[in-house]
Amino acid sequence: MKLSYKIFCATLALLCGVGAMAQQQGDFYASQREGWAQKAEASKPSLTKTVYRPVGLVESVYDDAAFQNWRMVPTEPMEALYGVSLKEKPVSIVDFGRHMTGYYTFRLKTTHRTQDAPMRIRFTFAEVPSELNTPLDPYKGTLSRAWVQDETLTIEQIDCDITIPRRLAGRYMKIELLGASPDFDFRMEDMWFTAQSSADHATLLPLPEGASEEIKAISEVAIETLHECMQTVYEDGPKRDMRLWIGDLYLEQLANIYSFRQHDLTKRCLYLLASLAAEDGRLHANVFERPEPHPQYGSHALDYSLIYNVALLEYLKATNDYETARDLWVVAKRQIDDAKGYLTEDYIFDAARYGEPIWLVFDWRDGYDRSASIQGLMIWALENSSELADMLGNAAEAKEWRKLAATMRKAARKHLYDKKQGVVLSGPDGQISYLSQVWAILSDILNEKEGQRALNTVFAMDNVIYPGAPYAYHYLIEACVKCGLHEEARNRLVEYWGGMVERGADTFWEVYDPENEALSPYNFFVINSYCHAWSCTPIYFIQKYPQIFCE
C-alpha cells in the first residue's frame, strides 16, 4: 500500500502545484516529526483506574417499546450467582450499572475436589441490551466480526484472578459455561471491572444554574460519554475503532473545554496527528497508538484535515499555549494549501478535481451530496485559520485567507444559493439537505435571516436529507445557535439527545435515528458503537450557551 500511496501522491504532484512543491521537498515535515512525536509522548496523560463490581443479575426481556426491542430487568443479587455451583447456573447476565472502559477480571473458586481439566466459558460484554439478544452468526456486518465483544476462554487454572486480555467497553456481561469436568465443582467467587479514563471528575465544571432535569440528564450522559472516550488519545469509541480521528478530536475538545478542561490530551492529539502526517504534509484522518503510533495509511479526509486547524485555534484560545500553536502552524498552513488545489476557476470546491472524488466525512447518511457542505466548511476553516494566523502574527496568511473566504462565499451565493427557494443546493441535481444549509450558515454564506429561512425551509420539507449521526447533529445545533434559532436549538438537542436518554442510554451513541433504531452504517447494529465521542457535545452547548439551554 505504501508504494501505491506514493504513486498516488506523485500523480497528484503532477497535477497540483502545491503538491509538486511538496514532492520536491521530499518529506514535508522531516525535520519536525521526531520533536512532535516526543511532545505527543510527553503529553500522554496517565489513566485513572477505578474498580467497579456488578450491582446484580439481570434478565433480557423482549419489549417492543424498548430501544431495539430489548431491556434488562434486575432479577437477583450477585449472591445468587456466587452462592451456587456454576454448573447449576451456567448462564447469567451481570449488570455493572454503568458504562465502563477497561479490563474485566473474575475469580472462580474450587468447591469440591480438584480441578482436573480446563473449563471453557464464553464472556460477552455489551453496551446495550440488544447486543446480547441478537444472533451474531452467520455474521452480517461489514466491519470485522471480532469487534463483537464475545470471548471464549479456555481456563486452565482457577482459584486465581483471571483477566480477559482484551480491553472492553460496556455495562452488561453475559457468562456462559461451555465446558467443565464432571470430577470437580466450582463457583464464581468474585468479579470486577477495572475501568480507566484520563478524565477526572474532580476537574468538572458545575452545571449552569437553571438547567432543567432533562438538560441535567443529557449533560450527565454526555459527560460519561466523553469520560469513556478520553483515554491516552481522544478515542472515537472505546468499544469499536478505539483510535484518534480528527473529527472526533475537534468535538471532544469542545466538550472537554467546557467540562474536564484537561487540555494536555488535546495537545497530545494535535502533536500526534502532526507527527504522523503523510510525506506530502497532508494529515491522515485517523491514527493508532499501538504497537507504535502510526496512521491509517491512505486515510485522508479533507473536511477533517481542515477541522484540524479549527481544533488548533480552539486549543490556543483555551490554553494560550503559543509554543504549540507556533510549532504546528506549518501543519495548519499545509492543509489550507492542499484544499486550495481543489478550487475551480469559479472558486467552487471540486472534490473530483483530480479524478475520483476525494473522501469527505461530514455524515453517515446515504445519498447525501457533500459539495455545498465542503464549500461552507472550507470557508469556515479559512476564517478560523485566519484568526489563528492573526494570533500568531502571520498577517499575510490571515489576509490572503480572509480574501479567499470572501471570494468563495460570493461564488457559493452565485452558484449554490437558490434565492427563490431560500435554500442552498448541492451537486448536479441540486440536492437539498440539512447539512448544506448548516455549513452555509456556519461559513456566513448565508446571513442570520437567510440562515433561519433556509433551516426553517428544510425543517418543513418531507423529502430532505436530514442528519444521520450525532456528529452531523452537532453542526446542526451550532448552526441553529448561530442564526438565532435558539428555541429550535434547544428543542432539537432535547429531542435528539434526550431521546437517547429516554431510551436508556448510559452514554451517547454513534448512530441514532429516532425513526430507525436498527440503523447501522455497517449493516449490523450490534457493532455500532454505543459510546461514541462525537455524541458528547451537549456538554459544550449547555455550558457555552446557558442562556439558550438553561434559561
Stretch that binds a copy of itself, among 181-189, 252-260, 332-340, 444-452 (CB under 8 A): 181-189
Which x/- pattern over 182-221 shows residues binding a copy of itself (rule: CB under 8 A)?
xxx-------------------------------------
Cβ atoms of 72 and 58 closer than 8 Å = yes
Q: Considering the complex, what minimum distance in angstroms separates the CB of residue 119 from a copy of itself?
A: 5
Q: Considering the complex, what minimum distance in angstroms separates the CB of residue 47 from a copy of itself?
A: 18
Q: Considering the complex, what minimum distance in angstroms separates the CB of residue 275 from a copy of itself?
A: 16
Return all residues near 549 (Cβ < 8 A) that are at least 6 apart.
Answer: 208, 211, 215, 489, 490, 493, 541, 542
For a copy of itself, which is the closer residue by CB, 119 or 246? Answer: 119
Q: What phi and psi values does residue 507 have, to the nearest 5 degrees?
A: -145, 160
Stretch that binds a copy of itself, among 228-236, 238-246, 366-374, 473-481 (CB under 8 A): 238-246
Helix (H, G, I), strand (E, B) or coil at 73: strand
Return all residues near 504 (Cβ < 8 A) that are at least 6 apart.
Answer: 66, 67, 71, 128
- For 57, other C-beta atoms within 10 Å of its C-beta total 20
Stretch that binds a copy of itself, among 180-188, 445-453, 462-470, 496-504 (CB under 8 A): 180-188
Among 26, 31, 116, 135, binds a copy of itself (CB under 8 A): 116
Q: Considering the complex, what minimum distance in angstroms separates the CB of residue 146 from a copy of itself?
A: 4
Is 105 near a copy of itself (CB under 8 A)?
A: no
Strand partners, 244: 287
Is 523 near a copy of itself (CB under 8 A)?
A: no
Among 160, 202, 396, 460, binds a copy of itself (CB under 8 A): 160
Please state, in angstroms and rounded to a whole number, the distance separating the CA atoms of residues 328 and 271. Answer: 8
- Residue 44 identity (one-letter amino acid): K
Using CA atoms of 482, 486, 489, 490 in order, give the dihedral in degrees to the nearest 10: 140
Among 241, 280, 289, 510, binds a copy of itself (CB under 8 A): 241
Q: How many residues does the chain have?
A: 551
Per the listing, cell 485566519 goes with 386
CA 34-37-42 angle, to 5 degrees, is 125
For a copy of itself, which is the closer residue by CB, 20 or 47? Answer: 47
For a copy of itself, which is the closer residue by CB, 139 or 192? Answer: 139
Grid cell, residue 83, equals 452462592
Among 146, 330, 352, 395, binds a copy of itself (CB under 8 A): 146
Pick from 256, 258, 341: nearest CA to 306:
341
Is 3 near a copy of itself (CB under 8 A)?
A: no
For a copy of itself, which is the closer residue by CB, 156 or 502? Answer: 156
Among 25, 154, 344, 547, binds a copy of itself (CB under 8 A): 154
Is 120 near a copy of itself (CB under 8 A)?
A: yes
Q: Considering the complex, what minimum distance in angstroms separates the CB of residue 89 from a copy of itself?
A: 17
Pick from 244, 134, 210, 122: nearest CA to 174:
122
Cβ atoms of 483 and 441 closer than 8 Å = yes
Q: Are strands 185-197 and 48-52 parallel, antiparallel or unpaired?
A: antiparallel
For a copy of itself, which is the closer residue by CB, 3 or 202? Answer: 3
Is 139 near a copy of itself (CB under 8 A)?
A: yes
Please state, in angstroms and rounded to a whole number, the distance separating the CA atoms of residues 113 and 110. Answer: 7
Grid cell, residue 185, equals 465443582
Using CA atoms of 506, 511, 513, 514 in order, give the dihedral in degrees to the nearest 10: -10
Element housing 426 (H / E): none
Return all residues near 14 (Cβ < 8 A) that are at least 6 apart.
Answer: 20
Among 78, 155, 244, 331, binds a copy of itself (CB under 8 A): 155
Among 75, 212, 299, 421, binds a copy of itself (CB under 8 A): 299
Among 166, 399, 403, 449, binds a copy of itself (CB under 8 A): 166
- For 447, other C-beta atoms within 10 Å of its C-beta total 11
For a copy of itself, which is the closer residue by CB, 243 or 268? Answer: 243
H helices of 443-502, where?
Answer: 448-460, 470-482, 486-502
Residues 259-298 contacting a copy of itself, CB under 8 A: 288, 290-291, 294-298
Q: Considering the complex, what minimum distance in angstroms separates the CB of residue 79 from a copy of itself?
A: 22
Among 25, 38, 50, 144, binds a copy of itself (CB under 8 A): 144
Is 151 near a copy of itself (CB under 8 A)?
A: yes
Is 85 near a copy of itself (CB under 8 A)?
A: no
For a copy of itself, which is the closer residue by CB, 168 or 374? Answer: 168
Pick from 314, 172, 158: nearest CA to 239:
172
Among 117, 330, 352, 395, binds a copy of itself (CB under 8 A): 117
For a copy of itself, which is the closer residue by CB, 170 or 295? Answer: 295
Helix (H, G, I), strand (E, B) or coil at 184: coil
For a copy of itself, which is the closer residue by CB, 122 or 544? Answer: 122
350, with CB counted inside 10 A (0-12, 13-18, 19+), is: middle
Among 49, 53, 87, 113, binds a copy of itself (CB under 8 A): 113
For helices 322-340 and 371-392, angle between their N-to-C axes, nearest 10 degrees: 140
Residues that bind a copy of itself (CB under 8 A): 1, 110-114, 116-120, 139, 142-147, 151-152, 154-157, 160, 166, 178-184, 240-241, 243, 288, 290-291, 294-299
